Amino acid sequence: DKVGVIGVPSCKGQSAGGVQHGPKALRQAGIIDKLTQLGVEVYDYGDLVFEQFDDDTPILGLKNPKNIGLAAKKISDQVSRVIKDDQIALTLGGDHSLSIGTIHGHAAAEKNMCLVWVDAHADINTPLTSPSGNVHGMALSFLVKELKEYIPQIPHFEWIKPCISAKDIAYIGLRDLDPGELWIVRNMGISCFTMHEVDRYGIDMVLRMSMQAINPHGDRPIHLSFDVDSLDPRISAATGTPVPGGLSVREGIYIAEELAATGKLTAVDLVEVNPLLGTKEERDLTVYAVYMFIISGLSLCVI
Ligand SMILES: N[C@@]1(C(=O)O)CN(C[C@@H]2CCCCN2)C[C@@H]1CCC[B-](O)(O)O
Ligand SMILES: [Mn+2]
Ligand SMILES: [Mn+2]
Ligand SMILES: [Mn+2]
In tens, the pLDDT along 161-217 reads 999 999 999 999 999 999 999 999 999 999 999 999 999 999 999 999 999 999 999
Indicate if the pLDDT at residue 264 is higher than 80.
yes
β-sheet bridge partners, residue 287? none
Segment 65-77 mean pLDDT: 98
Please report the pLDDT score of residue 194 as a whole number.
98
- Using the mean position of ligand 1's atoms as its centre, give its distance from the Cα of residue 222 in Å: 25
Q: Specify the ligand 1 atom closest to the Cα of 119.
A: 23
| Ligand 1 and 96: CB distance under 6 A | yes
How far apart (Å, rounded) are the C-alpha atoms in residues 10 and 22? 9
Q: What is the pLDDT of residue 303?
A: 54
- Tell which residue, 47, 101, 31, has the closest CA to residue 269: 101
Question: For ligand 4, a single-atom ion, which residues have Cβ within 5 Å?
Answer: 229, 239-241, 272
| Catalytic site includes residue 121 | yes
Q: What's the whole-number mean pLDDT along residues 215-220?
A: 98
Q: Which of 132, 230, 270 to mutate to test the pocket of ligand 1 (most atoms within 8 A of CB)?
A: 132
CA distances from 170 to 91, 117, 136, 213, 282 (A): 20, 6, 18, 8, 29
The catalytic position among 95, 110, 119, 168 is 119
Pick the atom of ligand 1 nearest to 177's CA: 1
**Residue 1 bears catalytic tag:** no
> At 273, phi and psi to the nearest 5?
-75, 120
Q: Is the beta carbon of 227 within 6 A of some atom in ligand 1?
A: yes
Cβ–ligand 1 distance for 175 under 6 Å, the answer no
Q: How far is the CA of 229 from the centre of ligand 2 (A)?
A: 5
Whether the Cβ atoms of residue 97 and residue 112 lie closer than 8 Å to each other: no
- For residue 101, give the amino acid letter: G
Q: Which amino acid is at 26?
A: L
Q: How many CB atoms lie within 10 A of CB 174?
A: 25
User: Cβ(269) to ligand 1 under 6 A?
Assistant: no
The whole-number average pLDDT for the span 4-25 is: 98
Q: What is the pLDDT of residue 257?
A: 97
Q: Which protein residues have their CB within 5 A of the ion that is ligand 2?
A: 119-121, 227, 229
> With a 6 A CB cut-off, is 176 part of the ligand 1 pocket?
yes
Euclidean distance between CA atoms 10 and 31, whole angstroms: 19
The H-or-E segment that residue 201 falls in is helix 195-201
Nearest CA to ligand 1 atom 18: 137
Mean pLDDT of the chain: 97
Residues 106, 136, 156, 223: which is the catalytic one? 136
Q: Is 196 an active-site residue? A: no
How many Å lie between the centroid of ligand 2 and the Cα of residue 85?
30
pLDDT tens-place string over residues 84-127: 999 999 999 999 999 999 999 999 999 999 999 999 999 999 99
Question: 1 pLDDT exceeds 90?
Answer: no
CA-derived radius of gyration, the chain? 17
Please state the pTM of the whole predicted model.
0.98
